[in-house]
Chain A
Amino acid sequence: MTYEEAEKELTSIVERLERGDAGLDEALTLWERGEELYRFCAGRLEAAEGKIEELAKRVDAARPAG
C-alpha cells in the first residue's frame, strides 16, 4: 500500500463516519481500519530516515564494451 492509498482510504473512512449513518458493526470496523491506516501513515513519516545517496557512475561501466 502506498502512502497516498492509505491517506485516501483514511479520508473516505472519516467522511463515511462523519455522516453518522454507518451500522454499528460497520462503524467499529471502519474505526479499527482507520486507526490502522493512521498508524501506517504516521509510521511512514516517523520511520523514514532522510538520506542523500549518489548513484554510482555505473551507467558507462555497465555498458557492454563495443
Chain B
Amino acid sequence: MKVEPVVYGDRKVFTVSAFNRGVADWLQRLPTLWVEGEVTELRRQAGWQTVFFVLKDPEGAACLSAAMPRGQFDALRLDLANGERVHVYGRPELWTQKGELRLRALSIERFGLGEHLAALERLKGKLAAEGLFAEGRKRPLPRLPRRIGLVTGNDAAAKRDVLTAIQSRFPPARVLVAETLVQGRRAAAAMVDALAAVAAEPEVDVVVLARGGGGFEDLLPFSDERLVRAVVECPVPVVTAVGHEQDTPLCDLAADVRASTPTAAGRLVVPDLAELIAGLARSREALARGTRRTLERHAARLGNAHERLRRAPALMLERRRARLEQTTGRLRALSPRATLDRGYAIVRREGLIVRSAGVVAAGDALAVEVADGSFGARVE
C-alpha cells in the first residue's frame, strides 16, 4: 500500500495511521524466525479471537509482545502457563492501531521450565522450611485498629479500592498511606522500607499491602525474599491484597491474612460501624437487664427471709408446745396409774411403800391404794 505524505513547503508530513502503515509494510519484509523467551502475561479468553502473551528474557528486562490466533494456539495443545520457556516461530509485525511492535506467532514449542517459576519454587520451599508460612505464626487482626497503614503503589485503583472499602464500612477510620514503587527492580527494597516506616508510626495497629492486578513479572517483587521476611517481621499484622485471586506471590503466604482483592483487604481491617454500634447498644441493654435481674433476685430473697423471720416466734412456741406434750406423754407412761388400772394395788405402812413381807408384823395398820381409791387393812 502506498503511503502518501502531506506536503507543507519542503516538509513531508505523515498522519499517524499513514506512518504506522508504512512501518508495518516495511516490517513485513523482515524474515520469519525463532525467538526464545519466557511466557508471561498469557491472556487466553474464550471471547477473544487471539491469544496474547509477552515473551521476556530470563535474565534482564527485555520484553516482546506476541499474539497468535486462538484456534491455532489451542490446536498446539501446549497448555502453556506463565513462566514457561518457549521457542516461538513468527515474524515481527506492527499493531497499527497502537503503533506497537509485536511478534505474530506461527508456532510455539515448549523449551524447559521457566526459570522464574523454578527459582520461586526453590525460594518457597526454603522459606516454608524456615516456618515463615506456618499457620501458627499468623496473628489475629485487631478488631478496631487505631490507625491503619496502607502500603501501595501510586496505582490509583488498588489504593482507591482499599480506602473506599475502609471508609464505607467504618467512616471514622484513620489511614496512613505510604506510596511506594511496586514494580521493577527497586520495588522490593522500596516496599520493605515503606512497610517498616508505616509500621513504626504511632498507633498503627495493622498494615495493608495492596497492588492491583498485573502480569506475572509485575508481581515478582511481591515474591522477593526481602519483602517476604519484612512481612513476617513486621511488628503489627499484615494483610496482603496483591494481584488477582489466582496469583499467589510469596508475600501472600507470609501475610497474617491474605485478601483476594484490595476491596476485601479494606473490609477485613475494619469492623462494620453500624454493627458495632448495634452490638454496643445490645450489650448496654443486657447490662441493665442483668443488673435488674440480680437486684430483683436479691429483693425476692430478702422478702423471703423477712417472711421467715416474721413467722419465727409462732413457730418457736408451737415447737415448745409439741415438746411439752411429748414429755407429758412420757411422764404419764411412767406413772403407776396405768398399773393400778390393771388390778395391782400399792400398799403403804405409815406412808412408806411396802416392798417386802419382812417389814410388816401382825396387827400393823396398812393403807391400800387401788385404781379408784384406797382403804385401810390390818395384817393378820
Contact = CB atoms under 8 A, between A and B. Distances in A.
A50 B294 contact: no
Given A38-B284, A54-B177, A59-B197, A45 B297 contact: no
- Interface size class, chain B: 35 or more
Interface in B293-310: 293-295, 297-298
Interface stretch (B6-14, B87-95, B275-283, B356-364): B275-283
B138 interface: no
B51 to A, nearest CB: 41
Given A59-B194, A59-B197, A50 B295 contact: no
A2 to B, nearest CB: 8
B174 A38 contact: no
Interface in B142-176: 142-144, 149, 163, 167, 171-176
A11 B175 contact: no
Contacts of A16: 290
B287 A13 contact: yes
B294 A35 contact: no
A30 to B, nearest CB: 7
A3 B45 CA distance: 48
A27 B291 contact: yes
Nearest to A51: B174
Contacts of A13: 287
B81 to A, nearest CB: 36
A49 B280 contact: no
A44 B287 CA distance: 19
A4 B163 CA distance: 23
A13 to B, nearest CB: 7
B298 A24 contact: yes
B280 A50 contact: no
Nearest to B173: A50
B153 to A, nearest CB: 14
Contacts of A38: 280, 283-284, 287
Given A27-B295, A41-B280, A54-B177, A17 B144 contact: no
A44 B144 contact: yes
A53 B176 contact: yes
A30 B286 CA distance: 12
Contact of B290 (A7, A20, A54): A20
B283 A30 contact: no
Contact of B172 (A35, A50, A55): A50
B179 interface: yes
A18 B286 contact: yes
Interface of A: 2-4, 7, 10-11, 13-14, 16-18, 20-22, 24, 27-28, 30-31, 34-35, 38, 41-42, 44-45, 48-55, 57-60
Interface of B: 142-144, 149, 163, 167, 171-179, 193-194, 197-198, 201, 273, 276-277, 280, 283-284, 286-291, 293-295, 297-298
Given A34-B291, A50-B172, 19 more contacts: A10-B283, A14-B286, A16-B290, A17-B287, A17-B293, A17-B294, A18-B289, A24-B294, A24-B298, A41-B280, A42-B280, A44-B144, A48-B172, A49-B172, A51-B175, A53-B174, A55-B177, A59-B178, A60-B193
